[in-house]
Amino acid sequence: NAGVTQTPKFRILKIGQSMTLQCTQDMNHNYMYWYRQDPGMGLKLIYYSVGAGITDKGEVPNGYNVSRSTTEDFPLRLELAAPSQTSVYFCASSLDRGSYNEQFFGPGTRLTVL
Amino acid sequence: LAKTTQPISMDSYEGQEVNITCSHNNIATNDYITWYQQFPSQGPRFIIQGYKTKVTNEVASLFIPADRKSSTLSLPRVSLSDTAVYYCLVGDVVHTGTASKLTFGTGTRLQVTL
């Protein structure tokens, strides 16, 4: 099992450009999440998905879009990049039932918007 | 969602036991307490989770008093490799409609030295 994989690892964007951060998990988890982490801060939830075709906003969704066409993939789209979106982005997945909700995180994508 | 309060940082020597306390005064009946560990440039990693009393695994112990308004993560005999940020999260992980909105605070930065 590769777990949660993210691409790219690093990216520099110019203001106004667009890009898609890719996230794939091979654990057959129904729940998937996107977080951002600014320097020295905790993680903030951007969007999450409870299954294919179902997504919902988290704490900081503005400027981002997501889709979930398959169980495995949960891409995050930035349409008009802004310097405020400079951050490290983490994708995570978890089981959707049971007595715990351990989230498995990917290695992150470091994004800089100039 | 219950708000959590943790110390910003802690220092320890290698081989000592480290106890990190988290306050969560408005914890709800259905809330579980979960701890994550994050190394620099990596995504967080699940350490332990509990509801009440004591939970122990191969990595750590979690102590939760009867009123559940606080919890203590105990790391036995820390080593240099335990230097990381530790996050305490409180939320309902059984009723999965709200499980997706666990909030990561700024965490406790543990520095272990020789």
pLDDT number for residue A102:
83
pLDDT of residue B106 exceeding 90, the answer is no
pLDDT number for residue A107:
95
Interface A-B: count of C-beta contacts within 8 A: 66
CB contact under 8 A, B43 and A102: no
pLDDT number for residue B99:
46
> Mean pLDDT across the stretch A84-96?
91
Residues of B in contact with A44 (CB under 8 A): 104
Mean pLDDT computed over every residue of chain A: 91
Angle at A100 between CA B70 and CA B58, to 5 degrees: 75
Contact predicate B42/A92, CB 8 Å: no
Percent of chain A with pLDDT over 70: 95
What's the CA gap between B93 and B82, in Å, rounded?
A: 26
> Mean pLDDT across the stretch B28-44?
90
| Per-residue pLDDT tens over the stretch B53-99 | 999 999 999 999 999 999 999 999 999 999 999 999 887 765 555 44
CA B5 to chain A, closest CA, distance in angstroms equals: 13
b or e along B69-95 (b: 16 or more beta carbons within 10 Å of the residue's beta carbon)? Answer: ebbbbbbeebeeebbbbbbbbbbbbbe
Task: Judge residue B96's burial from the number of C-beta atoms within 10 Å of its C-beta, 0-12 exposed, 13-18 middle, 19 or more buried.
Answer: middle
Split at pLDDT 50, 70, 90, the class of B1 is low
CB contact under 8 A, B106 and A45: no
Least CA distance to A87: which residue of chain B? B41
CB contact under 8 A, B87 and A56: no
Of the candidates B108, B88, B61, B110, the one whose C-alpha atom is nearest the C-alpha of residue B4 is B88
